[in-house]
Chain A
Amino acid sequence: MDIFVQQLVNGLTLGAVYAIVALGYTMVYGIIQLINFAHGEVVMIGAMVAFTVINALAAGSMPPLVVVLIGTACAIPVCMLVGYAMERMAYRPLRSAPRLAPLITAIGVSIILQHLAMLVWSRNVMAFPQIIPLTTYGFAGATITSVQLTIVGLCFAMMAGLAALVYRTRLGTAMRATAQNPQVARLMGVDVNRVIAATFIIGAGLGAVAGVMIGTYYGVAQYTMGSVLGLKAFAAAVLGGIGNIPGAMVGGLLLGVVEALGAGYIGDLTDLCRYGLGPEESCADGGHFILFGSNYQDVFAFVVLILVLVFRPSGLLGERVGDRA
């Protein structure tokens, strides 16, 4: 039972971050039906910028929390600029092109950003300085760290903030109107280009924070970290129903939990000795012969993605079906 609660806590933490990244995919998809495969790279750039700043300031006398906040505050505008630039330079010229063109462009942008990051920050893994004092709390037989609590709290605050923006403000209403019918939105006086740019900028800003959080959580950042994270978040967006904002939140949390529980139990469940199939010398005296260990953690997101695409392509909360997913 303990491992269940513990993995639930870990899963919710990661899932909250996936949800924030998934929002970046789903908002852009909702408004221009583009899967922005470069979004994972934006998240990576957020982590790299923040780590650079944090490492530079870590030796100083500033309180650790302030250092992390400054790092994040630097990462957000950089990512927003990257998000805006890719929309303006790569996607806007292809707005009326066949769907495949911007999709392939997105993959290209992703490769370019990844390699630019490699040139700037090298191939080395950047480590997060151990400056945050880690407090752990007991919780229903599991432990939760102060970092986890902060991540979950921050993610929920950002989701609430985004929901308020999308469902309560003029810009948000214009975004949803543009997503449904850009031409009529223009007739209402909406500058559709600005709304689309704003969508990219907001998604990138969220991605920057997600990058800092995931980097802090794992303690490392590297130029390749965006690809798998991005794909997982994309899987989360599809799970919730791509284009659907509450769907991305639900999908992200669910995917995080599935992944953590999967990683927690896959060893036990694929222990051949349990089924009397393992080689005798390994199974003797309660030994194990484990087929898949928790290093298979990354598999679950994609198993979920495949299952969703096969059985419910519109996702959990999505309404649109067909070629869109």
Chain B
Amino acid sequence: MLLELKGLEVNYGGIRAVKGIDLEVREGELVCLIGANGAGKSTTLRAVCGLLAARAGSVRYAGADIAGMPVHELPRRGLVMVPEGRGIFGQLTVEENLAMGAFTRSDADIARDLERRYETFPRLKERRGQTAGTLSGGEQQMLAIGRALMARPKLLLLDEPSMGLAPRLVTKIFEIVREIAAQGVTILLVEQNARLALEVASRGYVMESGNLTLAGGSAELLANPKVREAYLGEAAA
């Protein structure tokens, strides 16, 4: 088990945003966490990477209890998050942003990884010397994902990668997510776009007001009438 949450409770903004959830991600899996806005999905991710303190319960990653560990310690262990809203450094150049992704590394392969990112995202190569704030929303999302990959993650946490993007770009981003997973990176994906998330993920969890209400294989969830009604925008049969 790469990531294991047990009885996790998190307070956020004065309320209990996560009310005791159990969640598991095995090595090599692409798991999605879907649910409405405000269900507690992002809060869960922020607790996993230490940006928010867990009120109760445990967060185990690669066999170690990581609750209470300093945030900057986790990328060293291969746990990397792409934050909601992308979080790119707008006044740094594209290349400096990518270099920040490799901040914890000191090996000789960084330059080669950088070239690899540029192969995947040719747009970023064209704009490598530009400040990242001048990029379009889609390019910024690609930069944020590329930057996270520079850390050579074992577990990648993606927080709403489709947010604020045009449909064509959303499709593109999900293709990229699928490719990353195919390369063996374990992914926990938080998404409001339930259909796309379940299409790329092998398993999924459904979160409602701080609790996990459903869990299962993606095909199973896609066929579930409750999911279809609440998250896929289809009328109840």
Tell me the A residues contacting B by CB distance below 8 Å. Answer: 170, 173-174, 176-177, 180-181, 183-192
State the CA gap A186–B81 with chains docked (Å). 10
**In the complex, how many angstroms separate the beta carbon of A60 from the nearest chain B beta carbon?**
45
B92 interfacial contact with A, CB 8 Å: yes
Task: Give the chain B neighbours of A177 by CB distance below 8 A.
Answer: 89, 92, 96, 100
> Are the CB atoms of A173 and B99 closer together than 8 Å?
yes
Which chain B residue has the least Cβ–Cβ distance from A180? B89
State the CA gap A176–B70 with chains docked (Å). 20
State the CA gap A191–B69 with chains docked (Å). 12
CB under 8 Å from chain A, chain B span 60-90: 70-76, 80-81, 83, 87-90
> Are the CB atoms of A181 and B80 closer together than 8 Å?
no
> Are the CB atoms of A180 and B90 closer together than 8 Å?
yes
Contact A185 B91, CB 8 Å, known A190-B72, A191-B72: no
> Are the CB atoms of B147 and A188 closer together than 8 Å?
yes
Residue of A170, A185, A186, A189 most packed against chain B (CB within 10 A): A189
> Are the CB atoms of B151 and A189 closer together than 8 Å?
yes
CB under 8 Å from chain A, chain B span 23-81: 49, 51, 70-76, 80-81
Tell me the B residues contacting A by CB distance below 8 Å. Answer: 49, 51, 70-76, 80-81, 83, 87-92, 96, 99-101, 103-104, 147, 151
15 further A-B contacts with Cβ under 8 Å, apart from A184-B87, A188-B100, A192-B72, are: A170-B103, A176-B91, A176-B96, A177-B92, A177-B96, A180-B89, A181-B89, A184-B83, A185-B89, A185-B100, A186-B71, A188-B103, A189-B76, A189-B104, A191-B70
> Are the CB atoms of B87 and A173 closer together than 8 Å?
no
Contact A188 B92, CB 8 Å, known A173-B100, A174-B100: no
Contact A174 B103, CB 8 Å, known A183-B51, A184-B87: yes
Task: Give the chain A neighbours of B100 by CB distance below 8 A.
Answer: 173-174, 177, 185, 188, 190
**In the complex, how many angstroms separate the beta carbon of A174 from the nearest chain B beta carbon?**
6
Residue of A176, A180, A187 most packed against chain B (CB within 10 A): A187
**In the complex, how many angstroms separate the beta carbon of A245 from the nearest chain B beta carbon?**
12
7 A-B pairs with CB atoms under 8 Å apart are: A177-B96, A185-B100, A187-B75, A188-B100, A188-B147, A190-B100, A191-B72
> Are the CB atoms of B80 and A176 closer together than 8 Å?
no
Q: Is the interface of A mostly helix, strand, loop or mixed?
A: helix
State the CA gap A188–B80 with chains docked (Å). 8
Task: Give the chain A neighbours of B88 by CB distance below 8 A.
Answer: 184
State the CA gap A180–B89 with chains docked (Å). 6
Residue of B49, B74, B89, B91 most packed against chain A (CB within 10 A): B89
> Are the CB atoms of B89 and A187 closer together than 8 Å?
no
Contact A183 B87, CB 8 Å, known A170-B103, A173-B96: yes
Contact A187 B92, CB 8 Å, known A170-B103, A174-B103, A192-B72: no
State the CA gap A188–B75 with chains docked (Å). 6
Which chain B residue has the least Cβ–Cβ distance from A172? B96
**In the complex, how many angstroms separate the beta carbon of B148 from the nearest chain A beta carbon?**
9
Q: Which of B49, B74, B81, B92 contacts A176 (CB 8 A)?
A: B92
> Are the CB atoms of A187 and B91 closer together than 8 Å?
no
State the CA gap A295–B151 with chains docked (Å). 59
Which chain A residue has the least Cβ–Cβ distance from B147? A188
> Are the CB atoms of A187 and B76 closer together than 8 Å?
no
Task: Give the chain A neighbours of B92 by CB distance below 8 A.
Answer: 173, 176-177, 180
State the CA gap A119–B83 with chains docked (Å). 51
Task: Give the chain B neighbours of A187 by CB distance below 8 A.
Answer: 49, 51, 71, 75, 80-81, 83, 87
**In the complex, how many angstroms separate the beta carbon of B193 from the nearest chain A beta carbon?**
23
**In the complex, how many angstroms separate the beta carbon of B152 from the nearest chain A beta carbon?**
12
Task: Give the chain B neighbours of A192 by CB distance below 8 A.
Answer: 72
> Are the CB atoms of A189 and B72 closer together than 8 Å?
yes
